[in-house]
Amino acid sequence: MDTRKNIILILASVGTFVEALDIAIINLTIPSIQQQFGIGAETVQWLQTLYVLFFGGFLIIGGKLSDQIGRKKMFLWGALIFMLTSLGAGLSEKFEVLAVFRALQGLGAALVMPSALSIVTNTFREEQERNRAIGIFSSFAAIGSGSGLSVGGIISTYLSWHWVFLINVPILFITLILSYYYLPADEKNETVQKTDIISGIVMVLGLLSLTYGTHELVHIKDQPFFVTGSLVLAVLLLVMVFYRLKSVAEPLFDLQLFRHRSLVVSNAVFFTLGAFFIGFLFLISLMLQKDMGYSAASAGLMLVPFSILSALTAKFILPHISKRFSSSQMGVLGWLFMLAGGLLLLISVYTGHPLTVVLLGAACISGIGMTFCFTALSVMGIQDVEPSNYGLASSLSSTSYFLGAGIGLSFMTLMSQVFPSGFAVGSLNLIILTGYALSALGMLFYFILRSLKVKQAKVAVSS
């Protein structure tokens, strides 16, 4: 790779690193934010929910605009929005203001992520070189996501929770300046395309209404019309999106993609994975501090092995596993690891005195399983799709994961209010059981897919 290409790769990778970092970095700062604003876990979780809902909800629009307006323009605009909203979040003195900036951070991330990947794939044209570049790009995202817990804990302890957001500003400011000069100019797009932004906005509003209605179900006796109205509105908005996708000339995405069973199954499991794993890390982060008395920095350092093991698994173990197992088999293996991690966590919880080593072991084992699942699902999501739709299929997978995370967090919060316990984080026992029930459901999807593949193969051989 020449020097200019290396710089382009680093700039695109740094952009996606910051977005991935911000998914996890806030977890260990939650107690500090709760203390400053005097709010409970059921309220503070909206900081994570809003980010992932806006991120996932606008991801497809970000990809479409990147193709229509230009990769460089969308990368710069997305990074600028993310930088300014990070500044606003870091300077917020009211929780409501912080929540709004957190949601807009998700919007900026949704513009950066697809344009950054598109810049990489279009800069490195030769197959071997491109695969290496995508590997480096993906590793930045993995490192950002894995290191967020540790970085957030250390910053929160030695500076303040404000700096969890403010740290993005100088990084993105430098990235913006260098990107303006080094990223290749956008090619002129001769074909006039329309992006169905309305469907994207209505979908996000529908999911927000669904998430809010789910979150507030605990108050349905006190506010029956308000809570029911939120859920009814969510259904109406999502039905509207469905009919728009069928009727408009250039829809946000083609519903015909879902004729591929592998795409449907992979997106269903991605949704389940997001609903469980983001909440899983959220709860462990709170449990280490609220129930076990560790500082944010100590909790962050304890979760370093989780980050390292996940990265090492992706780098050294995954290539060997992928040669010996099909994508569906690798997915089942991943779920087994995650279920094993869950059993460890349940054992720790039911003793009444959670053991740190067992808790962290559960996180590490689940992290390894997560690595297997992500790779398997990504392959499954595109294996039957036409090459021209690879980008859209990948965006749908990411969207499913983040939307699952947002709705899953609200559902877990609802459970913690309906069934309170002696734990500071709420009804942890029931929440974990619910999360792993969802995991088992995801695993069942894999077994169904495997059996269908085997039957198809037998029919093909017999004919």
Give the DSSP per-residue string, 183-246: SPPPPP--S-----HHHHHHHHHHHHHHHHHHHGGGGTTTSHHHHHHHHHHHHHHHHHHHHHHH
Average pLDDT over residues 434-444: 57
Predicted pLDDT at 462:
45
**Neighbouring C-beta atoms of residue 418, cutoff 10 Å:** 12
Neighbours of 262 (CB within 10 A): 21
- Average the pLDDT over 89-109 and give the result: 91
pTM of the model: 0.78
Q: What angle do CA 50, 55, 58 make, to 5 degrees?
A: 115
Q: Rounded distance, CA 12 to CA 137, Å?
A: 8
Residue 73 exposed, middle or buried by CB count within 10 Å (0-12, 13-18, 19+): middle
Structure tokens at 138: 């993906």
Alpha-carbon distance values, 420 to 81, 216, 416, 423 (Å): 39, 15, 6, 8
Candidate ranges 40-44, 107-111, 211-215, 447-451; pick with highest mean pLDDT: 107-111
Chain segment 383-401, per-residue pLDDT in tens: 777 766 666 777 787 788 8
Residue 58 near residue 106, CB atoms below 8 Å = yes
Q: What per-residue confidence (pLDDT) applies to 146?
A: 65
pLDDT tens figures, 285-323: 777 776 677 777 777 777 777 777 776 776 677 777 777
Which of the 8 DSSP states describes residue 387? G
**Per-residue b or e along 355-389, where b marks 16 or more CB atoms closer than 10 Å to that residue's CB:** eeeebbbbbbbbbbbbbbbbbbbbbbbbeebeeeb
Rounded Cα distance, 282 and 94, in Å: 22
Using CA atoms, how far apart are residues 292 and 353, in angstroms rounded to an integer? 9
User: What angle in degrees, to the nearest 10, is found between the helix axes of 95-123 and 3-24?
Assistant: 150
Query: Rounded CA gap, 23 and 48, in Å?
Result: 7
Q: Which residue shows structure tokens 């998430």?
A: 211
User: Torsions phi, psi of 98, nearest 5?
Assistant: -60, -40
pLDDT at 43: 79
Mean pLDDT of the chain: 76
Q: At residue 456, does pLDDT exceed 80? A: no
452: left (phi over 0), alpha (psi -120 to 50) or beta: alpha
Task: List the structure tokens of 205.
Answer: 């509003």
Res. 76 pLDDT band, cuts 50 70 90: very high
pLDDT above 70 as % of the chain: 76
Residue 422 pLDDT: 54
State yes or no: pLDDT of 40 exceeds 70: yes
Q: What is residue 459's predicted lDDT score, i.e. its pLDDT? A: 39
The residue among 421, 441, 443, 440 whose CA lies nearest residue 431 is 421
Each residue's pLDDT tens digit, 241-267: 888 888 887 787 777 777 877 788 778
Lowest mean pLDDT among 16-25, 51-60, 156-165, 308-317: 308-317
Closest CA to 178 of 1, 20, 3, 2: 3
pLDDT in tens, 356-376: 677 677 777 877 877 777 777
Largest interatomic CA distance in the chain: 69
Average pLDDT over residues 334-358: 69
Residue 285 to residue 245: CA distance in whole angstroms: 39
Q: What is the mean pLDDT of the segment spanning 215-244?
A: 82
pLDDT score at 112: 87
